[in-house]
C-alpha cells in the first residue's frame, strides 16, 4: 500500500478503518511478487462510490470497475450504469458491465438479484480480470443482516452475518465503517453519488428493518444497537472459523450426493452434528436457502426411510445418511454399463469413487484378491443385478449378494453401482466380499490375476511381467 497523506477527520476515520479491516482479514494478499488485483463492484450508491475512491486512495491495484444493471428501475437503472461507466473512464480503469432483462429475475427478487450479481463477479475472477472483487457493504449492512437473521431464527453460522472475505474471492473493505462515515467522507471531498429509490421501498424486508425496526430499537432499547449487532456478527464469525476447523468432514459419494456416517455423527456433540448436517446439505444443494432449524433436527433424528426437505431428499439406510438434490436418482447411483476389461488395466467403479485395478503376476499378493488365470474370456466388469449369487472364499455355501449386503449393512443406494467381475456367466469377484471360492488362486502354480480395490488397498505395485491371456 502507498503511504498516505490524510487531511480531515472524516477521511482519516474511513481510511484507517479500511486499512485495519484489510490487514485483519488479509483481504488483498500478495500473489507472488505482486499484490492481488482488485475489481471494485460499484452500483453508483454512496457505499460503492466511497469504496472505489478509498481503494484508489490507499493504492490498491485496481483492475477495474464492475456494474450489474438489473433493469428494475427503467431509465434510472441505465443512468446508474452511465454514471459508473463515467467514473471508470475518469479514473482510466476498465469498466465491466452485465445486465438482466426486466422480468428475468424469478422468485424472491432480492435473492435472485444477489445471485445474478455474484455470478457476474465470479465470472470476472474465473476469466482472470482480477484476483478478487471488492463489495461496498458497511457495518450498518452487517447490523441489518444480523437482525434479519435473528428474526428468522438463525443459528451461529447465520449470526456471523456478511463475511469480510469469502472463499470465492469477494472482499468487503468497508465492513467496519459506518454508513454515516461513508457519507461524511464523500461530502468532505465533494464527491457525488446516486440515490436508489428502491432503498426506501418498504415492501422489501431489509428496508423495513433499516428505516423502521432499527431506528425504533435505537430509540427505545439501545442507542448503539447497530454496533452491538455488528459485534455479535464478529464474535459469531470468529467462533464459526474455530468450530469449522475442528469439525469432521462430510463424505462425498459423487458430485452431488453426500453421505454421512450416523455412528460418527451420533458420537459427536449435538452442536457438531448440526454443523455436519448443515455442511452436507450446503454441499449437496449448493446453498442453505429454505433450510431451517427443524429440518436439521429431522435429519439428525431420522431412523430409517426417506424424507423430503426444501431442495433435497434425505435417505437413511443402516448406518448411513444420504443427502442429494431433489429430483435426482433417489435410489442411488445408476448402475454402470458392463465393460469387457483388459489386463493390466484400471477401471472406475460406476458412479462411486471406487477404482479397480487388474494385473497379472507370478505370485499372489496380500491386500488384493488373487484369481486363477484359467478363465473363460472375456472378463466383464459390471454392477450388481438382483439375483446375483456366488460362494466367496472361506464361506461354506453359495450366497445371494442381496443377503450379503444386508449382513454387511451396505446402504441401499450403493448397491446398484457395486463392482462385480464375471467370466463365462460366473462371478469371479465382488467388492468387499472378495474372490469366488471356485476361482481362488491360493496354492495355484503359475501366474495369477490380481484384483486390487484401490480405494482400500492403494495403488498396485507393477512388479511382475504382464501375462497375456487369450481373449482377456
pLDDT digits (tens, 9 = 90+) for 135-163: 999 999 999 999 999 998 888 888 999 99
What stretch of H or E contains 216?
A: helix 214-220
Mean pLDDT across the stretch 221-225?
96
Three-state SS for 297?
helix
Fold annotation for 339-457: Phenylalanyl-tRNA Synthetase; Chain B, domain 3 (3.50.40)
* pLDDT beyond 80 at 352: no
What CATH class is the domain 251-325?
alpha beta
Which pLDDT score, from 0 to 100, does residue 333 have?
Answer: 54
Three-state SS for 464?
coil
Which pLDDT score, from 0 to 100, does residue 100 have?
Answer: 79
Delimiting residues of CATH 3.40.50.620 domain(s) in the chain: 9-241
Q: How far is 344 from 451, CA to CA, in rounded Å?
A: 10
What CATH class is the domain 9-241?
alpha beta
Q: What is the pLDDT of residues 399-439, one digit of tens each?
A: 999 999 999 999 988 888 889 999 988 999 999 999 999 88
Delimiting residues of CATH 3.50.40.10 domain(s) in the chain: 339-457
Which pLDDT score, from 0 to 100, does residue 461 have?
Answer: 35
CA dihedral for 267, 272, 278, 283, sign (positive or negative): negative
Helix then strand count (H, E) for the chain reads 15, 23
Which pLDDT score, from 0 to 100, does residue 248 have?
Answer: 67
Q: How far is 122 from 98, CA to CA, in rounded Å?
A: 12
Give φ, ψ of 148 to 5 degrees: -60, -40
Q: How far is 336 from 355, CA to CA, in rounded Å?
A: 13
Q: What is the pLDDT of residues 313-349, one digit of tens each?
A: 999 999 999 999 887 654 445 556 788 888 888 887 6
* pLDDT beyond 80 at 251: no
* pLDDT beyond 60 at 381: yes
Query: Alpha helices of 153-307 — where are they, by DSSP H?
Result: 156-159, 179-188, 205-208, 214-220, 225-246, 262-267, 270-285, 293-301
Contact (CB, 8 A) for 350 and 381: no
Amino acid at each position: 500500500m502507498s503511504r498516505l497523506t490524510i487531511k480531515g477527520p472524516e477521511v482519516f476515520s474511513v481510511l484507517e478503518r479500511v486499512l485495519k479491516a484489510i490487514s485483519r482479514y488479509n483481504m488483498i494478499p500478495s500473489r507472488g511478487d505482486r499484490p492481488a488485483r482488485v475489481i471494485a463492484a460499484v452500483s453508483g450508491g454512496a457505499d460503492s462510490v466511497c469504496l472505489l475512491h478509498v481503494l484508489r486512495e490507499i493504492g490498491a491495484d485496481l483492475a477495474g470497475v464492475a456494474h450489474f444493471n438489473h433493469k428494475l428501475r427503467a431509465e434510472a437503472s441505465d443512468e446508474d450504469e452511465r454514471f459508473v461507466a463515467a467514473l471508470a473512464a475518469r479514473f482510466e480503469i476498465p469498466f465491466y458491465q452485465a445486465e438482466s432483462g426486466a422480468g428475468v429475475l424469478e422468485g424472491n427478487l432480492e435473492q435472485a438479484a444477489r445471485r445474478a450479481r455474484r455470478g457476474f463477479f465470479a465470472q470476472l475472477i474465473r476469466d482472470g480480470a482480477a484476483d478478487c472483487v471488492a463489495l461496498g457493504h458497511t457495518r450498518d449492512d452487517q447490523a441489518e443482516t444480523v437482525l434479519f437473521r435473528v428474526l428468522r431464527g438463525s443459528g451461529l453460522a447465520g449470526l456471523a452475518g456478511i463475511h469480510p472475505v469469502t472463499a470465492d474471492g469477494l472482499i468487503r473493505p468497508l465492513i467496519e465503517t459506518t454508513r454515516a462515515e461513508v457519507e461524511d467522507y464523500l461530502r468532505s471531498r465533494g464527491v457525488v453519488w446516486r440515490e436508489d429509490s428502491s432503498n426506501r421501498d418498504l415492501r422489501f424486508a431489509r428496508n423495513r428493518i433499516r428505516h423502521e425496526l432499527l431506528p425504533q430499537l435505537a430509540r427505545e432499547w439501545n442507542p448503539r444497537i447497530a454496533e452491538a449487532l455488528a459485534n455479535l456478527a464478529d464474535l459469531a464469525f470468529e467462533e464459526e472459523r474455530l468450530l469449522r476447523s475442528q469439525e469432521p468432514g462430510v463424505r462425498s459419494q459423487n458430485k452431488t450426493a453426500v453421505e454421512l456416517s450416523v455412528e460418527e455423527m451420533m458420537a459427536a456433540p449435538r452442536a457438531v452434528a448440526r454443523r455436519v448436517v448443515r455442511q452436507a446439505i450446503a454441499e449437496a444443494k449448493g446453498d442453505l436457502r429454505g433450510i431451517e432449524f427443524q429440518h436439521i433436527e429431522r435429519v439428525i433424528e431420522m431412523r430409517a426411510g426417506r424424507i423430503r426437505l426444501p431442495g433435497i431428499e434425505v435417505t437413511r439406510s443402516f448406518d448411513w445418511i444420504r443427502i442429494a438434490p431433489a429430483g435426482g436418482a433417489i435410489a442411488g447411483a445408476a448402475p454402470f454399463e458392463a465393460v469387457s476389461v483388459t489386463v493390466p488395466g484400471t477401471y472406475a467403479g460406476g458412479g462411486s469413487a471406487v477404482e479397480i485395478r487388474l494385473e497379472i503376476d507370478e505370485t499372489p499378493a496380500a491386500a488384493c484378491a488373487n484369481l486363477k488365470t484359467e478363465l473363460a474370456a472375456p472378463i466383464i466388469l459390471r454392477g450388481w443385478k438382483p439375483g446375483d449369487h456366488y460362494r466367496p472364499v472361506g464361506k461354506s455355501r453359495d450366497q445371494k449378494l442381496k443377503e450379503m449386503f444386508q449382513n454387511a449393512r451396505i446402504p441401499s443406494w450403493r448397491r446398484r453401482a457395486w463392482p462385480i467381475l464375471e467370466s463365462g456367466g460366473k462371478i469371479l469377484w465382488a467388492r468387499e466380499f472378495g474372490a469366488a471360492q471356485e476361482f481362488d488362486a491360493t496354492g495355484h502354480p503359475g501366474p495369477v490375476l490380481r484384483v486390487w480395490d484401490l480405494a482400500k488397498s492403494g495403488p498396485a505395485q507393477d512388479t511382475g511381467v504382464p501375462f497375456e491371456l487369450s481373449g482377456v
